[in-house]
Amino acid sequence: MSVAKTSEITAASSKSFEDAIRQGIRKMSKSVDNIEGAWVKEQKVVVDDGEVAEYRVTMKVTFIVK
């Protein structure tokens, strides 16, 4: 029997939403093993002087507890 846990994290990137997702997963995987997947709950941008300055994602990351 497996037990899974979900943690909600927010990650940001100046490049893209995809890069923010990758950075968030990469950072979380440094402290949590057995990540199985993630659900992107929210996407938003920070606008500075009429330009997109930062892409942010909030996601729920699921991992298996051993």
Q: Kindly report, residue by residue over 4-56, the tens digit of the pLDDT.
A: 999 999 999 999 999 999 999 999 999 999 999 999 999 999 999 999 999 99
Q: How many CB atoms lie within 10 A of CB 22?
A: 14
- Tell me the C-alpha distance between 38 and 25, whole Å: 8
25: left (phi over 0), alpha (psi -120 to 50) or beta: alpha
Residue 66 has pLDDT above 90, yes or no: no
Asked if residue 60 lies in contact with residue 18, where contact means CB atoms within 8 angstroms, the answer is no
Closest by CA position to 59, among listed 16, 15, 23, 14: 23
pLDDT for the residue numbered 44: 98
